[in-house]
Amino acid sequence: MFFPSSSDRPTDGLALGFATAQDRNEPVLSVDGMTPVGPNLSHWPGNRTPRAWKADLSTAIALRFARASAAEQQEFLGDVGRVVNDHYDSDGFGALLAVLRPDVAFRLEDSLLAAATVGDFAVWHTWRGFAIDRVVKNLTRAGSPVAGAFHGVADGDSLSLARYRWLIEHAESVLENTGGYRELYEEEMAQVQEELDQGLRGGVARDVNRELGVSVLTTQGERHRMTLNTLAGAWRVLHVIEGRDGVRYRYHDRTESWFELVTIQPPARRDLRPLRDRLRALEPAHGGASWHADPPDAPIPELYFGPWAEQEYGEITRELRPSRLRAEQVRTELLASFARPNP
């Protein structure tokens, strides 16, 4: 396999940037996310990635680009002078590293891909993948061993760029000496590992309809989304949460059905809002709560019973309230909705 040497890479002159609202119309190389113009290496819907380089993760796409010949790279890049992303996460970090420091990315690509898998798909992959993803995510939080490196940097785009710049410079430390950042991941890792262990010991009741790709997971109390996705065995997940004060419900489509993937083919998304309306007819609003649903183009559409709130991407942040509907009612309506022909 061809690997461009450090002396003949067309990417050597690229500057690292962050796609702000002011310059998103400037031709740049955008990775993971997308800017409106310029070359693009991304698995986001509507991406402009050349077919030969497409992969399930933007990190993998950027690695394929980095392994292309210098002539192919130059033809693709044209005269752009910057490489940018428009959001901050571990797949963005991996993609930027593959473009700017390919020698490091090639050597540590298993760790980069594991971290991107954990971050983008919210599934347990390996302990190192989880740790790296959480180091990236929590890099500047209170108690971080490197928080001082970002002192005085304003939140927002400036902070995202500063974090990417630090990660690119210290990539070997983050990827190879992950234990040095354990305070950024060990507590959450222990939680997910314990929940997965409990689930495998029978702490999660799972009912999978493989024809419709729906998994109903019933637990006593809340669970981490990574726990649910890892144990689900399906792309469509209904979480039934049993408690002393009643039963709560949250359905979500996993992100795999939002990204443009190559090796994975989840079922096409359905608009959850007609099902929301059906559940509202069965259970009108009460106590400040109602059935709500996101449109299908949301990265992680949810259907739930509770007060309306905007969703924080990738996180379980919405408050749920006890529903008067029985679990079998909700399950039956959900399966019937997916069994109907997709309009």
The kind and range of the H/E element at 292 are strand 290-293
pTM: 0.94
Burial of 192 (0-12, 13-18, 19+ CB in 10 A): buried
Residues in the chain with pLDDT values less than 50? 1-5
What is residue 2's predicted lDDT score, i.e. its pLDDT?
Answer: 36
Q: What is the pLDDT of residues 102-128, one digit of tens each?
A: 999 999 999 999 999 999 999 999 999
User: Beta strands 29-31 and 40-41: pairing type?
Assistant: parallel
Would you list the DSSP string of 103-153? Answer: HHHHHTHHHHHHHHHHHHH-----HHHHHHHHHHHTTTSTT-TTGGGGTTP
Comparing CA positions, the residue from 261, 259, 211, 273 lying closest to residue 236 is: 211
What is residue 82's predicted lDDT score, i.e. its pLDDT?
Answer: 93
Rounded to 5 degrees, φ, ψ at 342 are: -75, 120
In Å, what is the CA distance from 181 to each residue of 95, 106, 119, 141, 169? 22, 23, 17, 12, 16
Two tokens, residue 157 = 């785009």
Comparing CA positions, the residue from 203, 235, 229 lying closest to residue 218 is: 203
Task: Give residues with Cβ within 8 angstroms of 316, minimum separation 6.
Answer: 222, 224, 225, 250
Two tokens, residue 195 = 């929940």
What is residue 7's predicted lDDT score, i.e. its pLDDT?
Answer: 53
What is residue 24's predicted lDDT score, i.e. its pLDDT?
Answer: 63
The matching CATH number, chosen from 3.90.930, 3.10.310, 3.40.1130, 3.40.50, for 203-339 is: 3.10.310
What is residue 1's predicted lDDT score, i.e. its pLDDT?
Answer: 33
What residue type is assigned to position 212 of the chain? L
Q: What is the pLDDT of residues 121-159, one digit of tens each?
A: 999 999 999 999 999 999 999 999 999 999 999 889 999
The answer to whether 131 and 138 are in contact (CB under 8 A) is no
Rounded to 5 degrees, φ, ψ at 172 are: -60, -40
* Buried residues in 222-236 as b, exposed as e (16+ CB within 10 A): bbbbbbbbbbbebbb
Tokens 């680009």 -> residue: 65
Within 152-310, where are the H helices?
157-169, 171-176, 186-198, 225-232, 273-282
Rounded to 5 degrees, φ, ψ at 325 are: -85, 145
CA pair distance 246, 102, nearest whole angstrom: 53
Two tokens, residue 286 = 């009460």
Could you tell me where in the chain the CATH 3.10.310 domains are found? 203-339
User: Beta strands 82-85 and 29-31: pairing type?
Assistant: parallel
Cα 85 to the center of its chain, rounded Å? 15
Strand partners of residue 302: 252
What is residue 330's predicted lDDT score, i.e. its pLDDT?
Answer: 98
What is residue 20's predicted lDDT score, i.e. its pLDDT?
Answer: 80
